[in-house]
Amino acid sequence: MKLLKLPPRIKILEALGCIADGRVTILNENHAIVRSSEGTRSYNVYIDLNNNIVYSDDNGTKIKGYMGYPIIALLMIKGVVPFNEEIAKALSKIPWRELNEKYKNYYIVEKIVKNIALKRGVDIDKIDRFIEMVINALRGLSLYYDENIKTISNNN
């Protein structure tokens, strides 16, 4: 098991967009399926806060070792970290994967996405304050990635 790092800021916004788009299917208290923005992939997400262990088969979590957007989305739904309905709605229907692949730079994608939200009526300062709130909440969690959960979550 390894301790997951804090995510890139963009992943918090991606989690909000994911929730706004209705791409999270809750299977039980700890387990969900999260669909990707283009709908071609699904991620298995499992969170056990009693034992501080998580599993998600998205690349950010599995390969890069940070809390990926599927985990953050489930933490938001569970009320563990802040969620903002207004910002989420402003981030709906954004082609996340397409933007990430095209620019290969989270900072650039974050600026693009914030400008979309601004055009949809949400102030960029409000978004930045929200990101900081979520980062601070995530900082208070010590979540360990346990790849052995994959077999548990697949059996549910």
* Amino acid identity at 114: K
**Do residues 43 and 57 lie in contact, with contact meaning Cβ atoms separated by under 8 Å?**
yes
Per-residue confidence (pLDDT) for residue 8, from 0 to 100: 96
Q: Which residues pair with 3 in a beta bridge?
A: 144
Identify the segments of the chain with pLDDT beneath 50: 153-156
Q: What is the DSSP string of 36-99?
A: -TTSS-EEEEEEETTTTEEEE-SHHHHTT-B--HHHHHHHHHTTSS---HHHHHHTTT--HHHH
Per-residue confidence (pLDDT) for residue 39, from 0 to 100: 87
Domain ranges in the chain are 2-150
